[in-house]
């Protein structure tokens, strides 16, 4: 494999456009990979691109890193929709760089996809990936991946509400009671709620079933991954190898 073909394939796999566009970037000398002497065009190689997972490279003087699969954590701000075609609010995907939104896929969808959805007024941790198996594992109730929510209600809460949520409440479209995996009060109007499944508007509907209206909702944790304070609303970052291993480890 020639170096130009190698770089073209690498750029295409990372979402930098069609193969023709990527080839043009290479031909113009706008792509460099990291060598022993710093950023330079690497030597010709016949190794598969995946061998270079984690390799830094530069496109038009902007630093990137090669990832065979994308695993991203986004701090979702309020007033955004988890949709590629939002109806009334900006899309969370607009917060991501273009290459993440253009990563090629075998299916009709391209780019990273949200692992489940958060309402437009809900903030907090949102995972995105182009790995279908990962998305399924994180989303499927069969795998019991805990998701922790911090919520604020309009009216005061008490231990009776906690007991109801732990025992299970019936939602208006499902006769089977839905239970919280864990629940505890953190203030007179505040609660931390842990779920292992994700139904439409589930947290709000569960609290509504106890006679309470949620006025603020924030997802603070998925599995053993906690949303840190240094990642501000609207910011994103790659998951580390250890974080990914922790998420995919059997609970």
pTM of the shown model: 0.90
Residue 94's SS3 state is helix
Residue 188 pLDDT > 90: yes
pLDDT at 81: 96
Closest of 77, 73, 197 to residue 146, by C-alpha = 197
Domain ranges of the chain: 3-65, 71-142+233-248, 146-222
Residue 37 pLDDT > 60: no
Closest of 176, 167, 152, 169 to residue 205, by C-alpha = 169
Residue 148 pLDDT > 80: yes
Catalytic residue selected from 9, 36, 119, 242: 119
Q: Token pair for residue 92?
A: 């969370």
pLDDT at 248: 86
Yes or no: say if 238 and 69 are a contact pair by the CB < 8 Å rule.
no
Instruction: Say whether 119 is catalytic.
Output: yes
pLDDT at 42: 58
pLDDT at 41: 58
Question: In which band, very low, low, confident or very high, does the pLDDT at 194 lie, cut at 50, 70 and 90?
Answer: very high
Q: Does domain 71-142+233-248 have CATH number 3.40.640.10?
A: no
- pLDDT tens across 114-135, in order? 999 999 999 999 999 999 999 9
Q: Does domain 3-65 have CATH number 1.10.1660?
A: no
The yes-or-no answer to whether 71-142+233-248 and 146-222 have a common fold is yes
- pLDDT tens across 84-115, in order? 999 999 999 999 999 999 999 877 668 999 99
User: b/e map of 109-126 (b: 16 or more CB within 10 Å)?
Assistant: eebbbbbbbbbbebbbbb
Yes or no: say if 237 and 140 are a contact pair by the CB < 8 Å rule.
no
pLDDT at 73: 98
Residue 143's SS3 state is helix
Best CATH choice for the domain 146-222 from the list 3.40.1180.10, 2.40.160.10, 3.30.70.1560, 2.40.50.140: 3.30.70.1560
């Amino acid at each position: 494999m020639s170096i130009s073909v190698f770089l073209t394939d690498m750029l295409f796999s990372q979402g930098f456009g069609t193969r023709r566009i990527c080839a043009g970037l290479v031909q113009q000398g706008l792509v460099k990979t990291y060598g022993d002497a710093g950023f330079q065009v690497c030597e010709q190689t016949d190794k598969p691109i995946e061998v270079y997972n984690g390799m830094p490279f530069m496109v038009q003087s902007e630093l990137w890193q090669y990832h065979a699969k994308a695993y991203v954590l986004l701090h979702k701000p309020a007033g955004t929709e988890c949709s590629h075609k939002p109806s009334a609010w900006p899309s969370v995907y607009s917060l991501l760089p273009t290459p993440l939104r253009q990563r090629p896929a075998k299916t009709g969808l391209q780019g990273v996809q949200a692992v489940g959805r958060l309402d437009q007024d809900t903030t907090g941790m949102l995972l995105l990936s182009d790995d279908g198996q990962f998305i399924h594992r994180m989303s499927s109730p069969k795998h019991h991946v805990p998701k922790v929510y911090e919520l604020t209600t309009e009216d005061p809460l008490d231990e009776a509400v906690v007991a109801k949520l732990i025992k299970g409440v019936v939602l208006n479209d499902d006769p089977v009671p839905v239970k919280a995996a864990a629940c505890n009060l953190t203030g007179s109007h505040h609660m931390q709620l842990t779920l292992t499944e994700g139904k439409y508007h589930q947290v709000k509907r569960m609290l509504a079933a106890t006679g309470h209206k949620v006025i603020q909702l924030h997802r603070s944790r998925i599995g053993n991954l906690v949303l840190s304070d240094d990642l501000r609303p609207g910011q994103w970052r790659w998951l580390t190898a250890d974080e990914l291993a922790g998420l995919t480890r059997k609970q």
